[in-house]
Amino acid sequence: MAPKFKLTAIYEKSLAALNGATVDLSRCATAGEIRFIDCAAAGEGVLRIYETNLNFPPKDVPYATASYVWRGYPPKKPRTTPRPTFTVKGAESGEPINIRLLTHLCAAAVQEGVELLWFDRLCIMQTSKEDKAWQIQQMHAVYARCAVCFVLPGGINRLVSLGEDTAWIHRAWTLQELLAPPRSFVLFEWTYGSGSYSGAAAGRITEVVARKCALADATDVLQLSIAGTMSFRRDKAKDATHRFSVPVHVFGAPESPQAWATMGALRLRGSEAGESAVWRSALMRTSSRPVDMIFSIMGLFDVSLNPAYFDKDDRVGATVALAKKILEKGRSATWIGASFHLPASSHLSGFPVFPKSSVSGQAMVSVGGRMKEVSTVVDGDYMSQWWLRHAPNGHIDDDGYLVVRVHAAAASLTDRRGDATPGVANASVGSETGAYRITDLRGRKWSVDKRQAISGSTQAMVLFVGSEGRLPSSKAYQFGEDTPIRAIAIEAHGRGKYNRVASFFLGKCFEQEIKTWRVAEVAIGGPKALSDEQLAIIRKKEHKDNVMLHVQ
């Protein structure tokens, strides 16, 4: 007989007594167990933390989760009296937990019919490397299994208004925390009571604590942030015309590439198109530990990597390990379409260059010798409202190279001036002899000759890597409607080893043309070699402990 679900209280203390104190679970918690906060007890002024005898409660015992940035925002004006807060042992680098905010969060959960809350700061033993590593492997399952997730865009020190521009959408872990749960709401500062909103999205704002905070659907808030505003009408308004405009910037500036990429990942989740959007969105995010940029999305691909295998700065090693497992599941190399405008990674040229990661600020990347915010260059002037369809399948070899069979044609760079307009130049094939020119996204001209044989000694070639699919948008594309084909150029840096050096948007006429190209097997990676440690992980056999919980 299966064991019955049981909650065991391991920590209990008055919230009033916690003001200025530190919560330490190291003496009462067991590594490798799921824990929850008692929301009803929090409403009565008590912090009670449970540990479970099962990994997750049964489906008839729902729980909530929270999504927030590790470091949020100080109040706009200095307070005359400090907010009551407490810290957590092992997590002193993050901001303290606002006691009042925690009670508001628990009140929102109870209002949604949930009395248990998984809140990582308090439900992970922050002093235990063993517990952290285990919890990271289960993180996707934690959010996927929850009944509802509450987004706190401003962190856990204070609630922010809808009109404040926060960094929530720029953080690594928040992408999974939005995509995995079945329902997500934003909890925000609000003084207007319950009512209805309209604009780019329509729905309801539900007050949680009178004149303090309220909830709104997270997908709607993201859509409203893309538009930048909404129209709101109070329930107690005298007539239907009594509406007023409210700015919505909590997920970034209107029409931001990051907001569009996140919306694409949200709308298309569970599909190949959604995976392409996940890569693009993750590329524009940041974390204090570079390796977390991979751990934070691996569950979205139904993959688990053991954090103990990777150094905290080894984003490259974790990336190639994730890519290998994705392909082993029979999925496509959708990361090729994460960005065609960024330079290629120097170690994994199938990927764009990896931005510099930090716990605060935004993801930055060096382009042409200058540091730029990734979202400003990830798609050039081409809106981030599309995804890569028909990406190639393949495998990762023992040297960390992506090996794929694709349509390919021999090519050579003939004009480095970069003065052509890609969309216009590639609107037609231009030759019936099998030799013609195409222009890459930097404006350089390449000569393509599909008549040439392709072998391991071919120095350069153009590869078909997919075609675009689109999200609905009111914006026009810079290159018009006639360049849906995606291709890349690769150059040899060793026998049978190639690295990506250019990208192309090709016209619809190439849909038939590429079918006449030769089918070739190519290995794309480098040009810099991976370290011995990284190669050892790639070649490592599976271990029984390297598993992730799968939730039905």
What residue has token string 């271990």?
543
pLDDT score, position 479:
47
Residue 143 token pair = 């959010």
Residue 543 pLDDT class (50, 70, 90 cuts): very low
| Residue 162 clears pLDDT 80, i.e. is over it | yes
DSSP one-letter string for 296-361 = TTGGGGT----GGGS-TT-HHHHHHHHHHHHHHTT---GGGGS-SSSPBPSSBTTSBPPPB--SSS
Task: Name the percent of the chain lying above pLDDT 90.
Answer: 71
* Helix axis angle, 257-267 to 272-283, nearest 10°: 150
Amino acid identity at 107: A
Q: What is the mean pLDDT of the chain?
A: 90
Sign of CA dihedral 496, 500, 501, 503: positive
Residue 360 pLDDT class (50, 70, 90 cuts): low
Residue 473 pLDDT class (50, 70, 90 cuts): low
Q: Does residue 339 contact residue 280 with C-beta atoms inside 8 Å?
A: yes
195-198/229-234 β-pairing: antiparallel
pLDDT score, position 55:
81
Residue 42 pLDDT class (50, 70, 90 cuts): very high
460-470/485-494 β-pairing: antiparallel
Q: Does residue 242 contact residue 260 with C-beta atoms inside 8 Å?
A: no
Question: By mean pLDDT, which of 2-16, 76-90, 518-532 is the weakest?
Answer: 76-90
| Residue 246 clears pLDDT 90, i.e. is over it | yes
| Residue 113 clears pLDDT 50, i.e. is over it | yes
Q: 474 — phi, psi (to 5°)?
A: -85, -10
Per residue in 132-149, pLDDT tens?
999 999 999 999 999 999
Task: Name the percent of the chain lying above pLDDT 70.
Answer: 91
Global pTM value:
0.91
Question: By mean pLDDT, which of 51-60, 204-213, 293-302, 490-499 is the weakest?
Answer: 51-60
Average pLDDT over residues 107-119: 98
Sign of CA dihedral 148, 150, 156, 158: negative
Per residue in 220-243, pLDDT tens?
999 999 999 999 999 987 776 689
Sign of CA dihedral 445, 451, 454, 459: negative
Residue 128 token pair = 């235990």
pLDDT score, position 177:
97
Residue 545 pLDDT class (50, 70, 90 cuts): very low
| Residue 80 clears pLDDT 90, i.e. is over it | no
Q: Between these two residues, 161 and 418, which has the higher pLDDT value?
A: 161
Amino acid identity at 429: V
Residue 2 token pair = 């299966």
Measured distance CA(159)–CA(156) in Å, rounded:
7
Per residue in 477-534, pLDDT tens?
444 557 889 999 999 999 899 999 999 999 988 999 999 999 999 999 999 999 999 9
Residue 549 pLDDT class (50, 70, 90 cuts): very low
Nearest to 151 by CA among 213, 201, 193, 90: 213
What residue has token string 């799968």?
550
First to last CA, the chain: 20
